[in-house]
Structure 1
Amino acid sequence: RPSRFGMFYDESAGVWSTAGMSFVSGDEKHVKMVSTHMSYFASVSVSAGCDNVPLSSRVLDHCLVCGGDNGTCSGCDGIPNTGRNKGCSGHGQCGVSTCSCLFNWYG
């Protein structure tokens, strides 16, 4: 989804940049930024990743972690949100993709 971000014109490099600028707040029409320097500033509407960085490719994984790899909610089967935990219900040991029962435990 498009969001508003601030940029400044870097005269020495001849390009627009976000270096030295921090996003404070904003919506589709307004933006409030903090800058470490004086320059010409502009507001632009661009897509942002889940990290709220302009043009970032970061997305939420299935565990709702920004830029994650689904590891925080994947069970022993390696699939997110199946309910199969890595602790194997306390009666097993997580192998490559399945739980192996401990001695004297079955199922």
Structure 2
Amino acid sequence: MRELRCVACENEPISQSSAAIAEDMRARVRVMVGEGATDAEVRDWFESRYGEFVLFRPKGKDLTGLFLWSAPFGFLVIGGLIAYGLTRRRRAGAEPVAPEDA
């Protein structure tokens, strides 16, 4: 129940949500577990009904999932390269200033 997102409350698991839909979702999980369903079967059932949004840990099985998991690291590398380039350009452009005779 901690791995399933409440569809009414953003970023709150159904185990902690007080929404009516979360109560229904918890009841469904209990019924499925009572019938012998595995964790994967429960997650798959909820995913087929509500979409991948309901999962706190998306599967990442296609190009979208790959982008979702790799984008933060890519942005970190790009940001580091930009910072390195700006620092290098700033050092190269700085020339010592000679004092003027008054």
The bucket for the TM-score relative to the shorter chain is under 0.3
Using structure 1 for the length normalisation, give the TM-score.
0.26
- Which structure carries more relative contact order (alpha carbon 8 Å, separation 6+)? 2
The structure number with the bigger radius of gyration is 2
Q: Where is the strand percentage greater, Structure 1 or Structure 2? A: 1
